[in-house]
């Protein structure tokens, strides 16, 4: 029998579509199991400054379809200090909160791991990030929605690129990972993806584009993952323009619109399953684990594994893109 009677839930770091569905699932599954559930606003900052409210099932009504996070989110510097974490722990004690569910990406789960170890606090993480860069899970909450947003945007840019017979470099998010760029490129029929995990030379890229135009393609689209390693879309476009002045080049940076919007059915279901599994994990006295999904089965991934390992890119995807973009 778990000693946990009361849990807190927070979202931290960059928001991701499906976070609300996860908050709803944790709250409802928690209340269903007889737990008290507290919503903590503005991530770790809300823990330190005591922005906490007890939730009923009503607090999470009508939110499954909404993007963003009703709990708000923040990137909190104070929580990176031992004093900040002590303050956060004292606030938790005052509310009688015995365990936490943290929804966020790499940075948020790193904070969770340190906090859990320092105070022997049961913490369960849910992978909430559009970047899909957490190890041990096939996918993360928000990734599918962001991917669909990218696909829709690239489809639109394709129309104008084709009319003007232009070469477009489109920059997408992903922090240090290329999942959005690579799968976004496959889904939108782009000519290439430049990702930090695989090095591409400018002349190789130009050759591919030249080959496309020679075969009477009307436009070329290259998806570029934001990263100092790729140089971003602007940097790459400049290099191609300098070396191949014949191309009519344009750049489009999709930016934060990738983080918004109503979550897809896939993300809503994933968030609901993961949120529900987080309560099972807490009741099962699991601690310091992230809920993941592997081959459609829920798995528990120790924080140390989820955060420390680089999630590999599936090489088959890269070769599929190359073969289909001729």
According to the binding rule CB under 6 A, does residue 173 interact with ligand F6P? yes
How many alpha carbons fall within 13 Å on the CB side of residue 323?
Answer: 6
According to the binding rule CB under 6 A, does residue 105 interact with ligand F6P? yes
According to the binding rule CB under 6 A, does residue 267 interact with ligand F6P? no
Q: Catalytic residue at 131?
A: yes
Would the CA dihedral through 27, 30, 36, 37 be positive or negative?
A: negative
Closest approach of Cβ 129 to ligand F6P, in Å?
5
Interatomic CA distance for residues 202 and 64, integer angstroms: 44
According to the binding rule CB under 6 A, does residue 91 interact with ligand F6P? no
Interatomic CA distance for residues 145 and 173, integer angstroms: 13
Interatomic CA distance for residues 291 and 301, integer angstroms: 6
Q: Which stretch binds ligand F6P (CB under 6 A): 156-164, 172-180, 214-222, 245-253?
A: 172-180
Q: Which of the residues 15, 98, 131, 144 is marked catalytic? A: 131
Contact by Cβ (8 Å): 174, 155: no
Sheet of strand 220-225: strand arrangement: 192-194, 220-225, 167-172, 249-253
Complex with ligand F6P: residue 23 or 99, whichever CB lies closer = 23
Tell me the per-residue interface mask from 215 to 254 with ligand F6P, x by CB under 6 A, - otherwise. Answer: -----------x----------------------------
Contact by Cβ (8 Å): 251, 178: no
CA 110-115-116 angle, 5° bins:
100
Contact by Cβ (8 Å): 193, 149: no
Measured from the Cβ of residue 58, the count of other Cβ atoms closer than 10 Å reads 8
Tell me the per-residue interface mask from 7 to 36 with ligand F6P, x by CB under 6 A, - otherwise. Answer: -------x----------------------
Tell me the per-residue interface mask from 47 to 76 with ligand F6P, x by CB under 6 A, - otherwise. Answer: ------------------------------
Closest approach of Cβ 281 to ligand F6P, in Å?
24
According to the binding rule CB under 6 A, does residue 196 interact with ligand F6P? no
How many alpha carbons fall within 13 Å on the CB side of residue 172?
Answer: 35
Tokens of 267: 């993300």
Closest approach of Cβ 176 to ligand F6P, in Å?
8
Closest approach of Cβ 323 to ligand F6P, in Å?
28
Q: Which stretch binds ligand F6P (CB under 6 A): 46-54, 171-179, 264-272, 302-310?
A: 171-179
Task: Give me the active site residues, please.
Answer: 131
Contacts with ligand F6P by CB under 6 A lie at 14, 105, 129-131, 173-175, 226, 259
């Amino acid at each position: 029998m778990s000693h946990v009677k009361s849990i807190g839930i927070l979202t931290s770091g960059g928001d991701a579509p499906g976070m609300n569905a996860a908050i709803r699932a944790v709250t409802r599954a928690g209340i269903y199991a007889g737990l008290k559930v507290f919503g903590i606003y503005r991530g770790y900052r809300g823990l330190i400054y005591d922005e906490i409210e007890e939730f009923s099932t009503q607090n999470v009504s009508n939110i499954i379809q909404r993007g963003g996070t009703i709990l708000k989110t923040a990137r909190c510097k104070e929580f990176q200090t031992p004093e900040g974490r002590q303050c956060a722990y004292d606030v938790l004690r005052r509310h009688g909160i015995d365990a936490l569910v943290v929804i966020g990406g790499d940075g948020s789960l790193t904070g969770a791991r340190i906090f859990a170890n320092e105070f022997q606090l049961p913490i369960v993480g849910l992978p909430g990030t559009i970047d899909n860069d957490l190890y041990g899970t096939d996918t993360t909450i928000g990734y599918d929605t962001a991917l669909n947003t990218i696909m829709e945007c690239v489809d639109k840019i394709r129309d104008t690129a084709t009319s003007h017979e232009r070469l477009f470099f489109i920059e997408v998010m992903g922090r240090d990972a290329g999942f959005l760029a690579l799968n976004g490129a496959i889904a939108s029929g782009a000519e290439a993806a430049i990702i930090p995990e695989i090095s591409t030379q400018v002349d190789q890229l130009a050759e591919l584009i030249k080959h496309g135009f020679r075969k009477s393609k009307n436009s070329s689209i290259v998806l570029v993952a934001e990263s100092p390693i790729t140089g971003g879309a602007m940097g790459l476009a400049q290099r191609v323009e300098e070396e191949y002045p014949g191309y009519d080049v344009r750049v489009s940076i999709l930016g934060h619109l990738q983080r918004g919007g109503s979550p897809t059915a896939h993300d809503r279901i994933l968030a609901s399953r993961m949120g529900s599994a987080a309560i099972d994990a807490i009741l099962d006295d699991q601690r310091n684990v992230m809920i993941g999904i592997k081959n459609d089965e829920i798995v528990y991934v120790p924080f140390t594994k989820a955060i420390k390992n680089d999630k590999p890119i599936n090489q088959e995807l890269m070769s599929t893109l190359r073969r289909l973009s001729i």
